Amino acid sequence: MNGLFPENPLEDERFARLALHLVDGVGPRLGKGLIEALGSARAVFDASKAELLGIEGVGPTLVQRLFQARLGTDLAREWALLQKHEADFHTIIEPDYPQSLCPFEDSPMILYEKGMRTPVDKDSVAIVGSRGATTYGLRMTKKISQGLAECGFTVISGLARGIDACAHQAALDAGGRTIAVLGNGLSRVYPSEHHSLAEAICDHGALLAEADMGCAPQAGLFPARNRIISGMSRAVVVIEAALKSGTLHTATHAAEQGIPVLAVPGPADSSLCAGTHNLIRQGAHLCTSAEDVVALLGEPGRAPAPLQKGLPQAPSDPQELLVWQALEQGPRQADELIRLLGFSMGKMAMITLSLETSGSIRRLPGNRFEIPD
């Protein structure tokens, strides 16, 4: 968990953005418009009725909801759920927010996270497909997902039955990393039979969601979550999709975001592959193996940190040394380090990222850090 609940949360821009996200009727585009019009989320909650009504898309009902949100009841409830489920949230102005999502007009105001993303996850490939996958589809998914994981790519999917679950599990079986983007809140796992898989993903990646913590699965949320899957990926691989499959939403988002789409061909007479075949006709790259993805993208632009022998060495950079020395007493949260050392949140994120990349420190769940043994 990133920090403590402020005494006056709506005076904290990070929590004010979370409060705005929780207001019914405020989506990513309107939320961005409110912040741009008034300068900050804090200013939205300080604004008068006349100021709010002067903003495009804001009517009397929404103004009433914004005034109601000033009481902080929903915010306190959300914070309690975040603590209970050991999750965190990121706003678009924070360094922990996925930078690949920032350029898009409909980028999420808030992204919830359980588990731990790392810098290596910038090299991610999405694998998506049918919930009612065939033996052939599952076999191809396992082959491609394992191959990508072995090459060093993080596999992203949606934790759904069929292709999604197979892609996550295959990446884990290969010793790789995987990220699941949910169409519901992080307080629940859907489908329920994927609880064990979700726990394994948290240990070797992360669960992400745009929906409020307690939000139940809703049909309308899944197409929206697909833009996050594609937006966080360097490429999208589609395996088994019918002509009207929801999976094709991910391919559409990818095309709009300028992200390459690959499609795995199937039997010519299979209706379950008609959508993937149509993608190939429209210009998607034909994919039969992980090597096809690597040929398109190149090798991941990273290498694993070398194993440290003996005691960890103190960094030479003066600011990094201060953080390292603070961690010699034991693990600390990022916010503790900020208060102790007086660095800004952005500066601390840069320092800890540098130390983590060099292997001098290790990130733990809850945005905590320690010096590795």
Convert the pLDDT of each residue in 309-365 to its tens digit. Answer: 345 667 878 888 898 888 888 889 888 889 889 888 777 877 887 787 677 888 776
How many angstroms separate the first and last alpha carbons of the chain? 23
Distance (Å, rounded) from C-alpha 264 to C-alpha 350? 39
Residue 185, pLDDT above cutoff 90 = yes
Closest among 252, 264, 254 to 138, alpha carbons compared: 264
CA-wise closest residue to 300 among 142, 180, 148, 97: 148
Q: Look at residue 84 in the predicted model and tell me its pLDDT.
A: 95
Residue 164 · residue 198 · CB < 8 Å: no
Q: Are 143 and 181 in contact (CB under 8 A)?
A: no
DSSP symbol at 23? S
Cα separation, 210 vs 195, in Å, equals: 19
Could you identify the residue written with the tokens 């360094």?
A: 95
**Each residue of 16-63: pLDDT tens digit?**
999 999 999 999 999 999 999 999 999 999 999 999 999 999 999 999
**125/130 Cα distance (integer angstroms):** 17
* Alpha carbons 353 and 355: distance in angstroms, whole number: 5
8-state DSSP, 100? G
Could you tell me the pTM of the whole model? 0.78
Residue 139: CB partners within 8 Å, gap ≥ 6? none
Full set of structural domains in the chain with CATH: 9-85 (1.10.150.20), 116-297 (3.40.50.450), 318-370 (1.10.10.10)
Neighbours of 94 (CB within 10 A): 16
C-beta of residue 137 within 8 angstroms of C-beta of residue 266: yes
Q: What confidence score (pLDDT) does residue 77 get?
A: 94
pLDDT band at 113; cut points 50, 70, 90: very high
Q: Report residue 275 as tokens.
A: 């959508």
Mode of pairing for the β-strands spanning 261-264 and 285-286: parallel
* pLDDT tens, position by position, 324-340: 888 888 889 888 889 88
